Structure 1
Amino acid sequence: MKWYSVAATLIAPSQAALRFGCSTLSIQRLDPLVEPGHMPSAHVHQIVGGNAFNATMTGDIGEKATCTTCTFTEDFSNYWTAAMFFRHENGSYKKVPIMQNAALPSGINGGMTIYYTQKDFNSNGNKKITAFPKGFRMTVGSPTTDSLDKAKKNVGLRFVCLQDKNTRFPELPDFPTKPCKGGIMTVHHFPACWDGKNLDSPDHQSHMYNTNKEAFQEAGPCPASHPVRVPQVAYETLWDTTQFSSMWPKDGSNPFFLSYGDNKGYGTHADYVFGWKGDSLQRAMDSNCMFTACENGKPLKSQGVAAMNKCAVKSSINENLDTWLSELPGGGMGTKREVRFRA
């Protein structure tokens, strides 16, 4: 099933569904949510969004950023995931490049596709969708997930073996076990039920509750403990693994690792810090626009690819990530920082 076929089956839009690109802001070892203040953090992340990103982010980052790598100029949120690496048979590692989604304007520098949806694309069940408050943050998934059975229970955290950039199914709970003709896509869906009180929680997840199903399907009702329906945030990241296909190990083992040392994919995870300016996200959620129809002030201000690509932050960590490396930066799962991350 291809993504455009999903959109083509829509009968009529109900409330807003946002889908937009964000070019890469930075790729470095910082994690202001799980490891605030630590420089470097345990493993490498790919970050998109506003340029207020730093090791100790607090408060309303929508008021602190001056540019964003995302399509909507009022979105200074930050979105990040673990980077992907290829391990050669000689034991060295190379960071896997990121491709842009086929559904987005051409020329975007790597990055991710971001979604803010309302249950599904046919109806939001006439439920009020409340935008996140200023200072809100959350994570989804955990690098401590260590089995396929556990990974299967993390609904919405999946991999897709791409035939081309339009491939969306089947979704897999772990890494593909053979070379993928068009690369690998990682998918991260966040919970969409909030307790209505806490901007964060000690584990960055307990203030949220997941009633979502696989892919972009209609979610179940929010429980009394987490009664506020917030937008369904999701990321898609397309990794250009094709350039390593000729180097696939002779024993057939998977050569791709997430940056914390996971070559199964069980522990795939993602982080989100809200940073929309003013009431812009709420205005969008209250509208009936969909995808590109939400741009150009209808109701959200937008920018072109050149401006998206121009926004960036310098790495705070002095390490070269664009060459062959003798080990994963941070050393993978065995480092002291990683133990602290996993605690």
Structure 2
Amino acid sequence: MEGDIGEQADCTTCAYSEDFSNYWTAAMYFRHENGSYKKVPQYPNAQLGTQGKDADNIKGGMTVYYTQKDFWNNGLAEQKITAFKPGFRMTVGDPTYNGASGTPNPGLAYTCLQTILTRGNETLDFPKEPCPAGIMAIHHFPACWDGVNLDSPDHQSHMFSTTKGHFQEAGPCPASHPVRMPQVAYETMWNTTAFKDMWPKDGSQPFVWAFHGNGYGTHADYLFGWKGDSLQRVMDDNCFFHNCGSPGVDGILKTNTVAQMNACAVKSSVEEDVDGWLDHLPGYEHHEK
């Protein structure tokens, strides 16, 4: 997809109605002892205290954060945050990484949820035991831009990561990538509770990403698509969390209702079953026969 995608779509699944960006992570699958696979469902992030009487009906389980400083302070007066430009894209993580060559980006991690509100106690690989409330996958993107390229051949070189993870403020940007941009982070909630009694008897890891990778290979894609100057406006404002706009709050951003978010969908073009119990991961039949 090329150009300004914020001008190409006619609806968005995001809470903010001016956000037409594309956010992607791989699907997670449970691998049964008998060799079959089942896609793990997502569920909404309760940590945000989503407002509204129909909040429980939200579909999907990815929460996207744009922070100026950290999770507790927007740091507005401390430095200029430059919003992404139309056509900008980036990725974080490496699907080929298996953890053998050293410590991966500290912004890529997992939390074994004891409750739906659990935070902290992050691990670099999938949790090694059943989690009472599921697994949260975390992706922190780099926030330093070279100021020139909207993309690069590897989708990463035009950015530089000073990310510290845990929603801490990223470190100073280097001279090669001097432009500070919003710190983008994804939290994706995976409801693994249906599989708690199917954990392999030998204790082996039963979860796998759809690209056949282990937990260390987690990665995510970002394609900017905010309408007009809406993201820059909010980066320049002193609002914080729901005060930037939410049902019942007159904020700087316009918001969708849950019904509007759920009504926005793209018909799947996948021609094989991806949701039932499968004898192979989607697209991998020729590898596993």
Place the TM-score, normalised by the shorter chain, in its bin.
over 0.9
- Tell me if structure 2 keeps the 8 A contact 1:78–1:273: yes
Q: Structure 2: how far apart are the matches of 1:297 and 1:198?
A: 35
- Say if 2:245 is the partner of 1:307: no
Q: Secondary structure at the match of 1:306?
A: helix
- Tell me if structure 2 keeps the 8 A contact 1:195–1:226: yes
Alpha-carbon distance change, 334 to 267 in structure 1, aligned in 2, over 3 angstroms? farther
The 5 A counterparts of 1:102-181 are: 102=46, 103=48, 104=50, 105-120=55-70, 121-122=72-73, 124=75, 126-147=78-99, 150=102, 152-181=103-132
Q: Secondary structure at the match of 1:115?
A: strand
Which segment drifts farther, 193-202 or 124-133? Answer: 124-133
- Structure 2, unpaired ranges of 5+: none
Q: Structure 1: how far apart are the matches of 2:16 and 2:107?
A: 25
The 5 A counterparts of 1:1-343 are: 57-102=1-46, 103=48, 104=50, 105-120=55-70, 121-122=72-73, 124=75, 126-147=78-99, 150=102, 152-263=103-214, 265-295=215-245, 296=249, 298-331=251-284
Task: Give the number of aligned pairs.
Answer: 277
Q: Secondary structure at the match of 1:106?
A: helix
Alpha-carbon distance change, 332 to 326 in structure 1, aligned in 2, over 3 angstroms? closer
Describe the superposition over 1:193-225 as per-residue Cα deviations: whole angstroms up to 9, x where unpaired.
Answer: 000000000000000000110211121110010
- Tell me if structure 1 keeps the 8 A contact 2:104–2:216: no
Q: CA deviation at 1:254?
A: 1.0
Query: Sequence identity, in percent?
Result: 65
- Tell me if structure 1 keeps the 8 A contact 2:96–2:213: no
Q: CA deviation at 1:307?
A: 0.6
- Tell me if structure 2 keeps the 8 A contact 1:261–1:333: no
Alpha-carbon distance change, 298 to 123 in structure 1, aligned in 2, over 3 angstroms? closer
Q: Secondary structure at the match of 2:254?
A: coil
- Structure 1, unpaired ranges of 5+: 1-56, 336-343
The AA in structure 2 aligned to 1:93 is Y
User: Normalization by structure 1: what TM-score?
Assistant: 0.78
Q: CA deviation at 1:118?
A: 1.1
Q: Root-mean-square deviation (CA), in Å?
A: 1.6
Q: CA deviation at 1:88?
A: 0.8
Alpha-carbon distance change, 148 to 175 in structure 1, aligned in 2, over 3 angstroms? farther
- Tell me if structure 2 keeps the 8 A contact 1:148–1:174: no
